[in-house]
Amino acid sequence: MGARAGYPLLVRGGVGTPKLRYPYTLRRLWAIRYYPWRFHNQPVLLAQSFTILSYANYNKPTYQTRTIMTKLSVNINKIATLRNSRGGNNPNVVKTALDIEIFGADGITVHPRPDERHIRYNDVIELKKVLTTELNIEGNCREQKFVDLVLQTKPAQVTLVPDVQGQLTSNHGWDTIANLDYLKEMIGLFKAAGIRTSIFVDPVIEMVKGAAATGTDRIELYTEAYAQQYSVGNFQLAVSSYVAAASMATELGLGLNAGHDLDLNNLKFFSQQIPLLHEVSIGHALICDAIYLGLENTVQMYKRQLQKQSI
């Protein structure tokens, strides 16, 4: 189907803003507009051209396509779980994290819990000494030990997660409305220490607005619901609430992270639907894939899933 008068055709090009190409007839009309003396012997055509161009210029849509390179932060909790299962220091958590950086990851995520069943608090301290990429510490800020650890190590980012004591894995986001005053206090504390802040939230517009009211720098969208729907083929249903939440977050000036159950099957589609996604945090699926594919290869495969395609 050809383009209507005044409407540009999108042309695939390099990275950045889409290139616009007008159909032949419209290019000719613009030629008439700027070089009318060339068509002095066609007065009717001249008159019609100026009428069409006036309408086209007024009604021409504006294309604004913004994308950013989404960073991959690898959660290494499962590496620590394997080490702890036998005691000793094999695998070496710090060395593995350094290797993951070398293999191309943009950051390392850890989620220390009070029972230290995977990442230990001392692991975090040692990691901060040697990492050259961003360190993201996730956890429940209602635990004073966690707060003290974050303030001591001063990671690039702290992600506040509403875990309860003994929780197996994170399974819900903050109620940012009911906990607004408390989250404001904690966000202020960490930001005063120069730490970027993020709040773990469900893809609900009201929760995103509540997060913005806390003063946080970013939110992390909890993506388990997306992964579940995607796995049964409900692709648009899977992502629709996340697109809406991401749009609201961007409108409110919040940065966007995402995590939980993202994997090689569903990551690319999610990333494509959320063009301003800053970071994904992936651990369990990536480490499982690494058993078969190798750690270096797996990190690179996840990175490729995050590559944005120009339109």
The letter for the amino acid at 9 is: L
Q: Where are the domains of the chain?
A: 9-59, 71-305
Among the residue ranges 6-15, 52-61, 114-123, 164-173, the one predicted with the least confidence is 6-15
- The pLDDT, as a whole number, for residue 162 is 93
H or E element that contains 196 = strand 196-201
Residue 264's closest CA among 239, 301, 234? 301
**pLDDT, mean of residues 285-310:** 93
CATH number of 71-305: 3.20.20.70
Kindly calculate the radius of gyration of the chain based on its CA atoms and give it in whole angstroms. 25
Residue for token pair 């990551």: 267
pLDDT of residue 4: 41
Strand partners, 219: 199, 256
Tell me the β-bridge partners of 20: 10
Confidence of residue 67 (pLDDT cuts 50, 70, 90): confident
Please report the pLDDT score of residue 38 as a whole number. Answer: 61
The tokens for 307 are: 């590559």
> Which residue in the list 138, 220, 278, 279 is annotated as catalytic?
138
**Range from 36-50, 74-88, 164-178, 179-193 carrying the lowest mean pLDDT:** 36-50
138 is catalytic: yes
Model confidence pLDDT, tens digit, residues 197-249: 999 999 999 999 999 999 999 999 999 999 999 999 999 999 999 999 999 99
Of 101, 118, 220, 260, the catalytic one is 260
DSSP string of 23-64?
-HHHHHHHHHHH-GGGGTT-HHHHHHHHHHHHHHHHH-----
pTM (predicted TM-score): 0.77
Average pLDDT of the chain is 85
pLDDT of residue 34: 54
pLDDT digits (tens, 9 = 90+) for 250-283: 999 999 999 999 999 999 999 999 999 999 999 9
Please give the pLDDT value at position 36.
60
More confident residue, 49 or 124: 124
What percentage of the chain exceeds 90 in pLDDT?
71
The mean pLDDT value for 16-23 works out to 42
The DSSP element (H or E) to which 134 belongs, if any, is strand 134-139
Q: Is the pLDDT at 286 greater than 50, yes or no?
A: yes
Question: Which of residues 265 and 17 earns the better pLDDT score?
Answer: 265
Arithmetic mean of pLDDT, 120-131: 98
Does residue 170 or residue 226 have the better pLDDT?
226
260 is catalytic: yes
In eight-state DSSP terms, residue 11 is E
Place of tokens 């993506």: 223
At residue 43, the pLDDT reads 57
Of 101, 111, 118, 220, the active-site residue reads 111
% residues pLDDT > 70 (the chain): 75
pLDDT at residue 173 in the model:
82
Phi, psi (rounded to 5 degrees) for 35: -130, 60
At residue 17, the pLDDT reads 41
Q: What is the rounded distance in angstroms from the CA atom of residue 84 to the CA atom of residue 5? A: 67
Closest CA to 70 of 252, 227, 290, 246: 246
**Number of other residues whose CB lies within 10 A of the CB of residue 279:** 25
* Helix and strand element counts for the chain (H, E): 13, 10
User: Would residue 172 show up in a list of annotated catalytic residues for this protein?
Assistant: no
In this structure, are strands 19-21 and 9-11 parallel, antiparallel, or unpaired?
antiparallel
Q: How many C-beta atoms surround the C-beta of residue 74 within 10 A?
A: 30
